[in-house]
Amino acid sequence: MNLPSPIHEYFDADSRRDGDALIHTFAQDAVVKDEGASHMGREAIRAWWSAAKTKYQHAMEPLELAEQGDVMRVRTQVSGQFSGSPVTLTFAFRLEGDQISGLEILG
């Protein structure tokens, strides 16, 4: 699958557990929405990602990309230490140039 560069880099950094590389895929004022909470800015996003990685020890595999207007939706299989694993979630990315400006994770 041919993912846009910032999205490919996001999944690659996550698989390597490289928080520094992952956080640099996001714009300074990016927002992540996950599990009913919003995380604004790189430091908040880093804290969200680190806490989720520690809690769920998850791995992600992008399955399919669909572009809907200015949103790139990536169906992703997520497996880890949580009930019902693995699950398929949709990662809805908004891009600004070569960075992620928004990410919403949907069930």
The string of pLDDT tens digits covering residues 33-66 is 999 999 999 999 999 999 999 999 999 999 999 9
- The share of the chain scoring above pLDDT 70, in percent, equals 100
**What number is the average pLDDT over the span 81-99?**
97
Q: Which amino acid is at 29?
A: D
Predicted pLDDT of residue 1: 84
CATH number for the domain that contains residue 91? 3.10.450.50
- Tell me which residue range forms the domain holding 13: 5-106
> Residue 69 pLDDT more than 90?
no
Q: How many domains does the chain have?
A: 1
pTM of the shown model: 0.95
In angstroms, the CA 10 to CA 4 distance is: 10
In angstroms, the CA 18 to CA 70 distance is: 27
Neighbouring CB atoms inside 10 A of 69's CB total: 6
